[in-house]
Amino acid sequence: MPDIRPVRSALISVYHKEGLDRLALALHERGIEIWSTGGTRDFLEGLGVKTKKVEDLTGYPSILGGRVKTLHPKVFGGILHRAEHMDDLNEMAAHEIPPMDLVIVDLYPFEQTLLNGGTNAELIEKIDIGGISLLRAAAKNHLQCTVVSSARQYPRILNQILEQGGTSLAEREVYAAEAFAVTSHYDRAIFDYLNRDGLVPALRISNDDAHVLRYGENPHQKASFYGPLDQHFEVLSGKALSYNNLLDVDAAVSLLSEFHDPTFVVIKHNNACGLASRDHLTQAWKDALAGDPVSAFGGVLAANRCVDLECASAIDQIFYEVLIAPDFSAEAVELLSRKKNRILLRLKSIPPSGIQVRSVLGGYLVQDPDSVTESTEDFKVVTRVAPQPSEIEDMVFALKIVKHTRSNAIVLVRNRQLIGSGTGQSSRIDAMRQAAHKARTFDFDVQGAVMASDAFFPFADSVEVAFQEGIRAVVQPGGSVKDQDSIDFCDRNNMAMVMTGRRHFKH
């Protein structure tokens, strides 16, 4: 191949030695000159690979406890010189600088040290200077230098050297891009650690764990998921997760994490269309499904207990996209996996709630997650009539659901069961009417139910509709200039109203 640039010399300096032996031996057998440092050189010499000391090239030993080894013009000159520039070649000859065709370098494990609970002093020592400089230099000069920045690339570069003797420009460009991906991700991790108090108003996002999806929200949209999916889920059966599946899985797991009793959640288009907590999971499933058996078709289901055969047999009666649970009995897996497209996910751990980022207007909106859930300690009774203990329990239950429901949102709950919800409406009264209509459609008796709102009532009309439907207990944040109108209506009609003082918009 005419544009192949042969590899005649290499600089190797790595922290992780795994997988290096086969590549290094192949370079040695081909007579490629190898320069190396410290522990890497000891490792290579132990394999029988002849190397040259970088210290002999620079004329300086490794100093400052290894902080300075390769930071020298003779090293970087060998990487950064331009072979087509005669002035560069003359300077190389004058200063006795050997060319470096291949640079194999990885970085100190800063992120792993952080995950392992390393001290500040340990983390500082894992901030790589020489290695990251070598990677950037070799990547910059990819017109003639090949840079290998990860052990995952060893098989590829080995095949290219064995088959071609070197690399093409197109191949070097890929290596260079991968090297800058490594260095930018590394710098982001260090920045996030140093900026853990958020004093520097800057956003850096980096993730190398890419999962290419079949398509996005619609078939004509390309999509990928970046994140440690395997860390939190084990796929037991079914097809690959789609973009929309992942959105609903996130909604299901986030909502489910609010509940501790045996609970089943049914999600459709990011909203709960069914949810119930019971003493036994099978009954929780039946009551969650009863909340809206029509919308549950093709939905995402999630449970917080092991799904046994009894529960699986009940679930198997409907079509769903994804079923999530912390565990499944062997019999349940055998039954539910008979239909090959239905996805079974074992939830290994709840994904942590990080910052929330959305792209808008050519930029980004960033916020903390809504991690607050109200309890009875946050309740302020503002009416003459106080809610009954059973109503208070359902209010807490309803607030957990409405917090995870698209605004404007109204949720109706009775006996720890979602019986109606109004989601994503342009007015709160429309959300109330939708919730009541849902409840009536599926033959729920609204008498004795509680109503929860994600934000205050600007007028008393929503409370009036609730009263007409038979609801006698309401929980809402409060904060409207017309709060008193709603309170007065409740007092005139012996309704109980509780305010929490905290809104839960979800746009």
How far does Cα 311 stand from its chain's mean position? 30
Distance between CA atoms of 128 and 149, rounded to whole angstroms?
13
Distance between CA atoms of 394 and 378, rounded to whole angstroms?
15
Helix/strand/coil for 218 = coil
Query: 169-194 vs 130-140: helix axis angle to the nearest 10?
Result: 150
CA distances (Å), 17 to each of 21, 183, 207, 315, in order? 8, 19, 24, 50
Cβ proximity of 416 and 274 under 8 Å: no
The Cα angle at residue 432 between residues 429 and 436, in degrees rounded to 5: 140
From the candidates 185, 211, 269, 286, which is the catalytic residue? 269
Q: How many CA atoms lie less than 13 Å away from 499 in the CB half-sphere?
A: 14
Is 269 a residue of the active site?
yes
Distance between CA atoms of 331 and 338, rounded to whole angstroms?
11
**Residue-wise DSSP of 364-403:** EEEE--------GGG-EE-SSBPPPHHHHHHHHHHHHHHH
Cβ proximity of 313 and 335 under 8 Å: yes
From the candidates 53, 140, 185, 286, which is the catalytic residue? 140
**Residue-wise DSSP of 264-310:** EEEEETTEEEEEEE-SSHHHHHHHHHHT-TTTTTTEEEEESS-B-HH
Distance between CA atoms of 47 and 45, rounded to whole angstroms?
5
Q: Which amino acid type is present at position 354?
A: G
- The number of beta carbons lying within 10 Å of the beta carbon of residue 121 is 7
Cis link prior to 408 (omega < 30° from 0)?
yes
The Cα angle at residue 402 between residues 401 and 403, in degrees rounded to 5: 90
Q: What is the DSSP letter of 96?
A: T
- The number of beta carbons lying within 10 Å of the beta carbon of residue 293 is 14
Distance between CA atoms of 49 and 41, rounded to whole angstroms?
9
Cβ proximity of 132 and 121 under 8 Å: no
Distance between CA atoms of 111 and 66, rounded to whole angstroms?
20
Q: How many residues can be counted in the chain?
A: 507
- The number of beta carbons lying within 10 Å of the beta carbon of residue 1 is 9
Q: What is the DSSP letter of 98?
A: P
Q: Which amino acid type is present at position 305?
A: R
Measuring CA to CA, which residue among 437, 416, 432 is closest to residue 474? 432
Pairing of strands 9-13, 102-105: parallel
Q: Which residues are catalytic?
A: 140, 269
